[in-house]
Amino acid sequence: MSNSTVDQDPFPITIAQLSGNFCETIFFGIYLAISTSCVLIFYDVWIKKQQRWDQSSRIYWIITTVALILIMICTFDTILGLVHNIWAFIDSSDPIQEFQKTSSWINLARVSIFSQTFSKVSMLT
């Protein structure tokens, strides 16, 4: 076994970033489709005032607001991931070095978004 095969990473960070972003956009699309259907149902119930909704106080506005904030956070996080990949592969000469910069503003913003998401989810429970 030579040194070159030992030094090679079986799953390099560039492929990990691309596959992670691909999976993130797939799941974001599923989440967006489900959220859109929920908003349409909410709109139908709230505007048409079906008989099972006697009062507008039965609509949980806090949960609705948190759900809309979560949609915005997920959208922003997906956009940041795509921008990070574009910067690493197009604008940078060394994508591996770009992905390993933990102090870049994009990585810090994504960590901040991640922590905010947990606080919003805890509001729902």
pLDDT in tens, 38-52: 877 777 666 666 555
Radius of gyration of the chain (CA): 21
Q: Residue 6 pLDDT more than 50? A: no
First to last CA, the chain: 53
**Residue-averaged pLDDT of the chain:** 78
Question: Which amino acid is it at 29?
Answer: G
Mean pLDDT, residues 56-69: 72
pTM of this structure: 0.69
Question: Which amino acid is it at 113?
Answer: I
Contacts of 74 (CB under 8 A, 6+ apart): 28, 31, 117
With a pLDDT cut of 70, the percent of the chain lying above it is 77
CA pair distance 119, 43, nearest whole angstrom:
26
pLDDT, tens only, 8-22: 778 888 888 899 999
